[in-house]
C-alpha cells in the first residue's frame, strides 16, 4: 500500500513540467556545447526553440546573426543532436528571423511583456540575447524574478 502510494507520487512529480524559471543546461550536453556555444554568449537553453528552428540555426553557422560560428562537421552534428533531443514542441516556442531567434518566440515576448521597451537598448543590456545582463544567475540556468540584476526591474518585482 505504502509502496503503491510512493510510486503514484513519483509518477505525479514526473508529469509536472520543469519550472519555467529553472532552465539548466541538460546533463547529457556534450562538452562541445558549452565550449562552442557558450564562448560568445550564454549557452542558450535548448528548450527555448523548436527542432526546425535549431536545424536552421545549425545549418548556417557561417552566417550566424552577423558572426561566424562555423564548426567541424562532427562537432556540429553532436551539438545539433543534443539540441534536437531537448527542443521545444509547442508552437509558442517557434522562433522568428533568419536564422530564427529564441528572443522572438511568442513565449519569450509574453514572459518579457513587462520589460519597458527602452531597456532592451540600454547600454547595460545591449539586446535581448544578453540574458545575464538582467538575470543575475543566468549562467547557472536560473531565471527567477527575485534574481533580476537591474535595480529598476527589482523595483518592478516588488510592485
Ligand atoms: C563567434 C561567436 C559566436 C559563437 C561561437 C556562437 N554564437 Fe550564437 N550568437 C552570436 C551573436 C553575435 C549573436 C547575436 C546576438 C545579438 O543579437 O545580440 C548570436 C545569437 C544566437 C542566437 C539567437 C539569440 C536571440 O537573439 O534569440 C542563438 C539561438 C544562438 N546564437 C545559438 C548559438 C549556438 C547553438 C551556438 C553553437 C553552435 C552559437 N550560438 C555559437 C555569436 C556566436
Ligand atoms: C532587459 C532585461 C532582460 C533580458 C535581457 C532578459 N530577460 Fe528574461 N526576464 C526579464 C524580466 C523583467 C522577467 C519577468 C520576471 C518576472 O516577472 O518574474 C523575465 C522573465 C524570464 C523568464 C521567466 C521566469 C519565470 O519566473 O518564470 C525566463 C525563463 C527568462 N526571462 C529567460 C530569459 C532568457 C533565456 C534571456 C536571454 C535570451 C532573457 N530572459 C533576457 C528581464 C530580462
Higher pLDDT, 34 or 8: 34
How far is it, in rounded angstroms, from Cα 87 to Cα 3?
Answer: 34
The bound ligand whose nearest atom lies closest to the alpha carbon of 123 is 2
In testing the pocket of ligand 1, which one of 29, 35, 41 has its CB within 8 Å of the most ligand atoms? Answer: 41
Surface-to-core class of residue 142, CB atoms within 10 Å of its CB (0-12 exposed, 13-18 middle, 19+ buried): middle
Q: Hey, what's the cell of 65?
A: 546573426
CB-ligand 2 contact for 28 (6 Å cutoff): no
pLDDT score recorded for residue 151: 85
The domain spans of the chain are 23-158
pTM reported for the whole predicted model = 0.90
pLDDT in tens, 10-55: 545 444 445 789 999 999 999 999 999 999 999 999 999 999 999 9
Amino acid at each position: 500500500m505504502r509502496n503503491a502510494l510512493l510510486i503514484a507520487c513519483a509518477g505525479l512529480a514526473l508529469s509536472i513540467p520543469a519550472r519555467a524559471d529553472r532552465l539548466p543546461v541538460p546533463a547529457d550536453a556534450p562538452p562541445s556545447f558549452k565550449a562552442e556555444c557558450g564562448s560568445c554568449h550564454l549557452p542558450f537553453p535548448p528548450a527555448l526553440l523548436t527542432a526546425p528552428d535549431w536545424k536552421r540555426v545549425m545549418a548556417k553557422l557561417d552566417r550566424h546573426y552577423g558572426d561566424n560560428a562555423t564548426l567541424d562537421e562532427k562537432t556540429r552534428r553532436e551539438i545539433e543532436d543534443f539540441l534536437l533531443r531537448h527542443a521545444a514542441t509547442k508552437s509558442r516556442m517557434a522562433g522568428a528571423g533568419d536564422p530564427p531567434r529564441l528572443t522572438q518566440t511568442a513565449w519569450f515576448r509574453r514572459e518579457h511583456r513587462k520589460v519597458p521597451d527602452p531597456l532592451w537598448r540600454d547600454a547595460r543590456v545591449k539586446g535581448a540575447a544578453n540574458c545575464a545582463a538582467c538575470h543575475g544567475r543566468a549562467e547557472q540556468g536560473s531565471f527567477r524574478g527575485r534574481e533580476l540584476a537591474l535595480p529598476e526591474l527589482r523595483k518592478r518585482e516588488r510592485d
